[in-house]
Amino acid sequence: MYLRVFSRLLSAMAGPRPVVLSGPSGAGKSTLLKRLLKEYEGVFGFSVSHTTRNPRPGEENGKDYHYVTREVMQRRIEAGEFIENAEFSGNMYGTSKASVQDVQAKNLICILDIDMQGVRNIKQTDLNPIYVSIQPPSMAILEKRLRDRQTETEESLQKRLAAAQADMEISNEPGLFDVVIVNDDLEEAYGKLKGVLIEEIEKVQEAKKS
């Protein structure tokens, strides 16, 4: 019930459509997203997710994620504070209502960087975002990218690869995403990402001029 009530609230708010950005770890979402935010400064707002996993080197609490304990996360989910949540590799992730509201209230395009479970949850609301999937060109290339990071244990890496395989298969389901971008060539992938978002980008830019 709370999802329907909240989604109606979001639909009633004036502003550009949010963007759901999904894809396996190592597909290049972060690289494309950082470039988008740099080129279109002041257009996008990043919805900061909550997670129970530990920060990686260089990550900041409140910027990359809100890092919380499993107990705190579970309590907030039960209190209805999240529009989606999922568990991956033994860690919980979720998007809070407040994080989306904060971005939309500023008339910015809210970016939701979530996994496939989250995508399915959002599909049950009236949020009406643009759904974009970023995929690697192959499992072999994805594995190399993940190993080059040197941030995973072998067990964690194998879990991510298994999840990525499922992600790549599910992303091709008809109607799940508005566009699936295979990140083989960074320039080409970025061009496709801009192409699908340009209408909303221009709306925000025009609103800022008026």
**Shortest CA distance to 120 belongs to which of 60, 163, 161, 170?**
170
State the DSSP string of the chain.
-HHHHHHHHHHHS-SPPPEEEE--TTSSHHHHHHHHHHHTTTTEEE-PPEESSPPPTT--BTTTBEE--HHHHHHHHHTT-EEEEEEETTEEEEEEHHHHHHHHTTT-EEEEE--HHHHHHHHTSS---EEEEEE-S-HHHHHHHHHHHT-S-HHHHHHHHHHHHHHHHHTTSTTT-SEEEE-SSHHHHHHHHHHHHHHHHHHHHHHHH-
Residues serving a catalytic function are 56, 149, 160
